[in-house]
Amino acid sequence: MILERLTSLGISTLASAAPLALAALGGLAAAASGSLSIALEGSMLVGAFTAAAVGHATGSAAAGMAAGAFAGLLLSLLVGGAAVGLKADVFVAGLAANILAPGIVSVASQAAYGTKGVLAAEALRSGQWEIIALLASASLALALFLSRSVFGLRLRVAGEGDEIAAAAGIRSGAYRLAAHLIAGAASGLAGAALAAGIGAYVPGMTSGRGWIALVAVFLGGRRPGGVALACLLFGLLFALSNLVQGFGGQGASSGAELLQAVPYAVTALALVAWKGAERRRKAGG
């Protein structure tokens, strides 16, 4: 009984952590290039919707997932293009993308299906293990790519500053744009996986996961391993709050719904604690 519970908690942790990790590694690419990826949340949302729409239309889960990643990439192209090409403030461009995402999804949904509510896509629904395996391998590949490839190395140099990059003959702007695209595609795929998990798109289904992924980038010390670990921790939080909710979820006023707030509050606390420790370490050393 207890063992069963633990296993299901473990699986549920992995299922929550995997999309976070992929999106966070995308965010890491942007951070490593010296930019900020506020738009992870937006990319996840358009990824989820596009995956459901394409999955519904084609009847293919694979096509849905690919389309989700592509949609995330398109959104991040707006942000990266504005920031790198037009020298716009990356923060404002990212916010605009986050405002754009739910709007454009709703408009598209209204135009195509006459509803702005839930969009069922049974064809997209995939097994839990399939999704975890897909996301985990994508995360691993991305982590490896960032830390070991020639591209990843140059990306990190771009993140050290334009002058240093220029001295090494590296065009930092191009790498920064590429990093935004990677972030968009990764979080688009992560969003698609959310939709695949339940076989439907539900408005607001990302509910701040893109932001938690962004926090994981900072908490993980900007290293792939650390970022993945932070995501596992947040995944555990989500799993725990779901589990406890399952125990007491009979009455509407039982407070089970309140538990959904815990991951966000704890994430904020973790960030504060980590930053505090970092500051103390610096002051001491």
Q: Is residue 102 a contact point for another protein (CB under 8 A)?
A: yes
- Residue 9 one-letter amino acid: L
Q: Which is nearer to another protein, 74 or 100 (CB)?
A: 100
User: CA 129 to CA 145: how far, in whole Å?
Assistant: 24
Ranges within 12-71 binding another protein (CB under 8 A): none
Q: Is 174 in the site for another protein (CB under 8 A)?
A: no
- For residues 225 and 228, give the distance between their C-alpha atoms in angstroms, rounded to a whole number: 5
Contact 46, 104 (CB under 8 A): yes
- Asked if 116 touches another protein (CB under 8 A), the answer is yes
Nearer to another protein, 62 or 112 (CB): 112
Q: How far is the CB of 206 from another protein (least distance, A)?
A: 11
Q: Does 127 bind another protein (CB under 8 A)?
A: no
Out of 59, 91, 122, 129, which residue is the one contacting another protein (CB under 8 A)? 91
Per-residue CA distances from 258 to 9, 85, 255 (Å): 19, 43, 5
Place of tokens 């670990």: 229
CA pair distance 141, 224, nearest whole angstrom: 11
Question: Pick from 58, 63, 19, 4: which is nearest to 193 by CA?
Answer: 19
The answer to whether 141 contacts another protein (rule: CB under 8 A) is no
Burial 18-37 (b: 16+ CB within 10 A, else e): bbbbbbbbbbbbbbbbbbbb
Q: Does 257 bind another protein (CB under 8 A)?
A: yes
In the complex, minimum distance from the CB of residue 10 to another protein, in angstroms, rounded to a whole number: 25
Determine the interface stretch with another protein among 12-20, 22-30, 141-149, 181-189 (rule: CB under 8 A).
141-149
Beta-ladder partners of 201:
119
Identity of the amino acid at 45 = L
Q: Which residues of this protein are in contact with another protein, per CB under 8 A?
A: 78, 82, 86-89, 91-93, 95-100, 102-104, 106-107, 109-111, 116, 145, 148-151, 153-154, 156-157, 159-160, 163-164, 166-170, 207-208, 211-212, 214-215, 218, 252-253, 255, 257-258, 260-262, 264-265, 267-268, 271-276, 278-279, 283
